[in-house]
Copies of this chain bind each other. A is one copy, B any other.
Amino acid sequence: MDDIDQRIIASLIADARQSYAEIGTRVSLSAPAVKRRVDRLRAGGVIRAFTTVVDPAAVGWTTEAFVELFCTGRTTPAQLTVATRRHPEVVGAYTVSGEADALVHLRAADITHLEQALERLRAEPFVTSTRSMIVLSRLVDSPTVIPTPTAG
């Protein structure tokens, strides 16, 4: 992972459908050289996937919520992973420090759908209680972060 790799990644984050030749002009490399680096980054797990950012509303998912999960003492992260992945409405789940044990990001078609998903989540045996924050408006939602780490 050198500086050129970083720039290739930044370029692919900006547009995943760019040609290798185009990336090459940006980073001053030939297309085959870029491809070799991208293949290496993919094999090494640095690049996980090429994906498409879709307007959630256009696709029918208009309701979103963050739910804090309070769990029984003996709940493992592995249990949480398995449980949360069962629910298709879960788009993100994290164990966190603070009062709650986990934070779950839900996306649903509407309030009714969200309520159903929430009830299913609350029915998990290790969940003792939940606290929901319904998203009223999305102010910022960067698909991925452009890598410029040394900003501190």
Flag if A17 contacts B50 (CB, 8 Å). yes
The docked-state distance in angstroms from the alpha carbon of A144 to that of B92 is 10
Complex contact A98–B147 (CB within 8 A) = no
B138 touches A52 (CB 8 A): no
Main secondary structure of the interface of A (DSSP, over half): mixed
Within the assembled complex, what's the spacing in Å between the Cα atoms of A107 and B152? Answer: 12
Pairs A–B under 8 Å by Cβ, sample size 22:
A13-B54, A15-B49, A47-B55, A49-B143, A50-B51, A59-B145, A59-B149, A64-B94, A66-B66, A66-B103, A68-B133, A77-B136, A77-B139, A85-B140, A88-B151, A94-B135, A94-B138, A95-B135, A96-B134, A97-B132, A109-B151, A112-B152
